[in-house]
Amino acid sequence: MSTDDPTTRLTAVQTKIAQAAALAGREPDGVTLIAVSKTRVAEEIEPLLRAGQRAFGENRVQEAQAKWPAFREAYPDLALHLVGQLQSNKADDAVAVFDAIHSVDRASLVSALARAMDKMDRRPACFVQVNIGDEAQKGGCTIDSLPALLADARAAGLPVAGLMAVPPADTEAAPYFALLAKIARDHGLDGLSMGMSGDYEVATMLGATHVRVGTALFGVRA
């Protein structure tokens, strides 16, 4: 196998997560590796499934609906995570196709998801996304609005698993990861969805329970 074989890459990423967890005195089992498969075709995804990878991330509802039903039949234990922004009018579809939603970031979406979950009788785990670097273009609620949004989500019966964030690009991510971890602790939340290809080891050391890794597994996106 060449070093750019997806299975080799998977082993390398798993090893780095285990090493980072060990450095922080954490169990590697406490970190779920989500293979972010947006834009990747079935032929690229299948080798990872065969190698035992079971958590995958997509950023579009329609793309997930097209790609994943066939894999679900073959691998009933796989888990699909939505890692992209979600429009309220797609809440029903998202609840039907995903096992976890990492982009809950506003009250209108909380209401739409609560209605969708009742209707579909399915309750995907929810991560509230925080705009941790306070960036104009980025998804996520502000740090100031988080307490009210969390209260809304809990009151609406969403299964809130934790917080998610994407720190600003081109700067040291560690302070943002540490801040997200502190905010999660303050709110009694265990789940921390943070860390991508460039920084999943740092995120693991700082408490990530879910790292979202695309490029390091599949190669550079076209």
Ligand X SMILES: *Cc1c(COP(=O)(O)O)cnc(C)c1O
With residues binned 3-state (H G I as helix, E B as strand, rest as coil), the percentages for the chain, rounded to 5, are 45, 15, 40
Would you give the binding string for ligand X spanning residues 70-89, x where CB under 6 A is met?
-------------xx-----
DSSP-assigned letters across all residues of 157-206:
T--EEEEE--PPTTS--HHHHHHHHHHHHHTT--EEE---TTTHHHHHHT
Phi, psi of 65 (to 5 degrees): -60, -35
- d(CA 51, CA 125) in angstroms, rounded, equals 25
Element at 101 (helix H, strand E): strand 100-104
Check binding of 215 to ligand X (CB under 6 A).
yes
Check binding of 40 to ligand X (CB under 6 A).
no
Number of residues that bind ligand X (CB under 6 A): 13
Handedness of CA 167, 16, 74, 123 (dihedral sign): negative
Nearer to ligand X, 100 or 156 (CB): 100
Nearer to ligand X, 59 or 209 (CB): 59
> Nearest approach, Cβ of 87 to ligand X (angstroms)?
16
Find the binder of ligand X among 32, 37, 59, 209 (CB under 6 A): 59
Would you give the binding string for ligand X spanning residues 175-214, x where CB under 6 A is met?
---------------------xx--------------xxx
**Nearest residue to ligand X, by Cβ distance, number only:** 214
Question: Where along the sequence are the contacts to ligand X (CB under 6 A)?
Answer: 36, 38, 59, 83-84, 166, 196-197, 212-216
